[in-house]
Amino acid sequence: MSMNRREFMQLLAIAAASGMTLHSNFARAEKAAEALYELPRFGNVSLLHMTDCHAQLLPIYFREPNVNLGVGDMLGRAPHLVGETFLKHYGIKPGGIEAHAFTYLDFVEAAKTYGKVGGFAHLSTLVKKMKASRPGALLLDGGDTWQGSGTALWTDAQDMVDACKLLGVDVMTLHWESTYGAERVKEIEDQDFAGKIDIVAQNVKTTDFEDPVFKPYVIKNINGVPVAIVGQAFPYTPIANPRWMTPDWSFGIQEEGMQQAVDAARADGAQVVVVLSHNGMDVDLKLASRVTGIDAIFGGHTHDGMPAPTVVENAGGKTLVTNAGSNGKFLGVMDFDVKDGKVADFRYKLLPVFSNLLPADPEMAAFIDNTRAPFLEKLTEKLAVTEGLLYRRGNFNGSWDQLIVDALLAEKDAEIAFSPGFRWGTSLLPGDTITMEHLLDQTAITYPWTTLTDMSGEMIKTVLEDVADNLFNPDPYYQQGGDMVRVGGLQYSCDPNAAMGKRIDNMMLNGKPIEADKTYKVAGWAPVSEEAKDSGPAVWDVVANYLRAQKVVSQRPLNLPTLKGMEGNPGVAV
């Protein structure tokens, strides 16, 4: 089904009349929808881009970060801008619907006004609308699509695989997909996706002979223009996630391989070459400055919702670098004007997906209902009510992680707790009921085991230093794109500009300094080593126990490190 503007407005009116989810002031909503989603077509080649939806089939809330520090060359540059600096940089009016979509500012009040974001039924309506106004447009999926919800985990990714086929995804690349194991990924590629969705990844090779595991790129004909889509899977999958799940696959950035793939695509006749990337934005920016012949990199992984592309100059010309946020909150729309065999001009817009302004696509809505039905009882279990805002995203502890480390400390009887610096995980407003589904939105992974480890003070410092370097190494190629490990019990200071091994200081526990050779009981979850398989109960069971006992979760203070050398950094606002 495709839709023109009149049909879209009719659907919106029907939705409003039937009292569905629409804004109380329909006239205002209609106006807002028209302003947001009436995007005139430009040029002759259009690509739609979604990324990092983390299996969120239903509308959710997602608060953007107030701490997203840039260090080294990235200081003060996109994506390392937050709040008002962000708005000023992109010329977005404060207080409006777009300011709410792109920043954390006034989050709770604005979320109540504008409602939830994302949801595949609403995204589907927007995709159809864009495809209708842009004949030949393709939908690219940057990965982190099959992981992040209870239903994705319990169906072994099948719900998302089917949803993506229904949504009309044409090409995708990978990251968390690999945590279902190499065999499952290949099974989906060979069976479910055959003839429908191409998986591309030039940087995934076998560990023995470096043979390609996936197609490096595909060439699609859009309105007579050959367009190459080169894939770049998350380079550090076997490091950030368990290597034993893809033991025969090697990843890495593979700059030379990227140049070869781009050159080969051009030699094959491609007039437009784009990269569908899961590198993370800092890595994409560096790659764009060093590899030539790429018109645009459609990026993900770091969950940066960037209203406009960054234009990067390199020896061969210019490359646009975009990043399309997370959790189904945005759809990127790139229009290229291709003339005389090359890109002459472009228009780009990152559209926020406001569920109240986009009527649910009936077919997708029915699919989602069906797929959730067998799990509804488990998903809707009420665990507790939150008094404060719960969110995850940001370089240091968010309130959701604070709750998780507090639960780990209590339930595991530990002195210190660690929780991984994941960037996925949705938000809840004050007064919301925390259901099992919401808890799984923060924790649903294929290696969810909790751990309780005796660690020396020296080892604890090593862990913090190691993760801090993955976040703050001045060379993006040495970063892994997650946030800082979330910490409970332990206080510390962090100097992001310092060298590896020298960033973490003043480590204190209950007012006493951590001693290097003393042993501490440390709780954690998501162990990546194969030996740690089944090390303890799944994290959602541990946290659910804690929440059921609490009944009401009070707003808790965040255990944040004391930052050094970050005064005036536009990547932090308090």
Partner 1 sequence: MNNQRRDTLKAGGSLGMLGLLAAVGLIKPEMAQAAWNKDAFDAKDMDAALAAVGAGKPAESAEISITAPDIAENGAVVPVGVVSKLPKTEYIAIMIEKNPAMLAASFTLPEGTAADVQTRVKMGQTSNVFAVVKADGKFYMTKKEVKVTLGGCGG
Name the site residues for partner 1 (rule: CB under 8 A). Answer: 144, 175, 206, 208-209, 211-213, 234, 236-241, 243, 250-253, 256, 280, 301-303, 420-424, 462-463, 466-467, 469-470, 473, 475, 477-478, 480-482, 485, 500, 526-529
**Which amino acid is it at 425?**
G
Going by their DSSP bridges, the two strands 205-206 and 225-232 should be labelled as unpaired
CA dihedral 256, 257, 262, 264 (to 10 degrees): 110
> Which CB, 226 or 235, lies closer to partner 1?
235
Kindly state the smallest distance separating residue 264's Cβ from partner 1, in Å.
19
Q: For residues 481 and 286, what is the distance between their CA atoms, to the nearest angstrom?
A: 14
Helices (runs of H) and strands (runs of E) counted in the chain: 18, 25
Least distance CB 423 / partner 1 (angstroms):
5
Structure tokens at 223: 């309105």
The secondary structure of 472-492 as a DSSP string is: H-SSGGG--S--PPEEESEEE
Cα 63 from chain centroid? 12
The beta-carbon contacts of 500-506 under 8 Å, at least 24 apart in sequence, are 500/465, 500/469, 500/473, 501/465, 501/469, 502/465, 503/465, 503/468, 503/469, 503/472, 504/461, 504/464, 504/465, 504/468, 505/564, 506/562
CB of 522 to partner 1, least distance (A): 13
Q: How far apart are CA 391 and CA 61, in angstroms?
A: 9
CB of 407 to partner 1, least distance (A): 18
Instruction: Please calculate the CA angle 480-486-488 and round it to the nearest 5 degrees.
Output: 160
Strands of 486-535, DSSP E? 486-488, 490-494, 504-509, 512-513, 519-525
CA angle 102, 103, 109 (to 5 degrees): 110
Asked if 368 and 138 touch (Cβ cutoff 8 Å), the reply is: no
Cβ atoms of 553 and 403 within 8 Å: the answer is yes
Q: Between residues 222 and 233, which has the closer beta carbon with respect to partner 1?
A: 233
What is the distance between the alpha carbons of residues 239 and 497, in angstroms, rounded to a whole number? 24
Residue 197 · residue 170 · CB < 8 Å = yes
Written as six digits, the tokens of 60 are 């959710």
| 3 state SS of 288 | helix
CB of 47 to partner 1, least distance (A): 23
